[in-house]
Structure 1
């Protein structure tokens, strides 16, 4: 309940429940003590304006008998004109919204009043009585009304609401529910509609629960008066207000609140299937999810409704069950993920769209793996894809060109794997000014592959012309005489296909001293690519022999070469100098040696 509930104690000879309050008083917002009204001409109908604070859209009222007399006192809620004030004479007093309840000395069950409701209190003709009211505002928040109701029930000692049952074997009408909840058991042999009670036949706060028990028929829960009744504040929306109970043991609960019903389970999904027509006109909605399934044979366009015609949170789930691209297109100046561009979906893909603002859709692809592309054409266009999956492109043309989509149309983190299955060089071309590792193009040699990842503004590539390529040369048994200088011990040619390629060159080998000879061995060696020494690869191997002991030692060096142009290159291991003080004067290099190039 609210922190400042207000108490009213009403005394009069008779409350007939039909005449408005004639005194014109407003409740004191800070009044926490009982207020007595004892004028003899006081009558018994209190409008919503009499009871609720200004600016509120609903209130909870509890009533009880104040004194021992007039044990037949009764209370009920009636409907009145929405424009009627507390001082107006009643234009119409409609049927009671709640079954008339007898007042006891304990608090009654909560009575929910909206702007078009009034509270009527009846005295028996034979005597006057005193009635106490406790009023708490809802502050226009439906959730707060639920909390207040629970607290009011605890205060009233009515934690268990009476529950009735109704069984329907075919389409029909739910019976009135004024001061009890109702469980409706449905067993339909054919499809049919079940109408909720009219608002005037349902008490504030009551729940109607539907349970599909058996039968092949599908029940559909509808409004009694669609033009005026509402579900979750929505009036007469054929795509929203009905609830289709598609499965057995399906359960849905409706609760009567000021102004209509709320469906506590939320909103059911509806399906729009399009077989042949393009463009597909997608209708606006207010709540829930609309499934749009396209089975168009060929490219199709789906025109999204204006965000301004939808409620924030409304969702549309697109499923492309056709054979080509489905392209949802925003309306007017609406945006999809802050872009005015359409959002294309390949065949077999799906995406969820949600209204975020008056002009914004948020789209998230659900199928993250695009269909692989295999082509022998000289030019292969890669369309934009959605999600964070990997687009695989296999090209067999000896001079194929792969045209990437714009980075603006691909999600950050999405990747594209280009495989060259042919015998020539495949070129990857970025869209417009889009860059690949800082360059406009990238080459993929035969049998190689390049993985490209969209980093938010460009493509980051690994593999291909700078990746799992390697060439190796084996160094045979070599005997170097002392004094050898500037000798190419081994060389290897390799070919790069893209600009600014990096290559790693390494050399490993072992050496052997001549047995039973004293002396020292010193070998200075270095790597060279295209006649230029590789920085950091200079090494010296030096060892002193011991008689009667076989002496082995190792050669090892490596270096990295950057910015190699496309074309053929040569890597070499060069002996700069080799000296030996052993009597034989020779230096042995064993067959384990190798020159390796990786790029």
Structure 2
């Protein structure tokens, strides 16, 4: 079963009336800083603001082609939901259909109450649309709806259906969600020892920190821990087992496991005493610095892209590898200069970069070229 990073949608308007169609054209408005359509773009976070009423959100405006469904969580912002605030999952009408499945148009599938807390996950299928009913505490003020949409491929959808079937048949299948916030450098968080089949851990990290897994003996055999980064936070997060236990066969690996910047980790409790297996899923992020310089505070696992398009000189400063747990081995940035002037790649403080026949604190990236800088555990290595 594969994991895709969650996608976040925020809709802000005066009234969610359950009927007025929402369209991606709203994304082109000046109020939307990200721009683009949620289906055609790969941004994890989408924002739509309009004074007009909105109420109907079709499946294909939330889920990209190639997926067979999505798990959705919802909440209201800007005021607690009233008793009548809700989302109705309805079968699509003629204007919303993306399949030829013969189902009654606009038939009610299920109702989800809306409050200021996240709802439990509910399934959205290609034949469905969302009808949203909500108004803020002050009818003259804008209010909002937030959605977390986790797209499902075939294996993920089958896993969800199997879990629901097990639960409805009386088998013990339990899930739990834990939120972790790392906002102070070198903070350590130990996950709760919850007797569940799947523990989903949502991580917001604006600083450097460590997440420690629960003790192997406290977790059900075969249980899974999905650790998911939420939002566009840049903190570097290391994942370690409890003392004396192993991840991927190693208790203290030279190359520790880190949470991707845009993605997730799946960790499974193996049958072998004290052992866990971990797999990483993510998409390399891209940072574009339109003008001026840019300094990275924290490293990241794997590759990211940095674009420096300014027609003037720019300096990109790499994160400091001299700080413990700040830069994972294999941390890599592809710096792209598509301007007519040279740019500078610099190590933090006195830290050095080896490449281009020299070892120095800075490297000059010529106009209309690119270079890849990676951390080998000792220093930065550059390949032009």
* Structure having the higher Rg: 1
Say yes or no: TM over 0.5.
no
* TM-score band w.r.t. shorter chain: 0.3 to 0.5
Higher relative contact order (CA 8 A, sep 6+): 2
State TM-score, norm by structure 1.
0.23
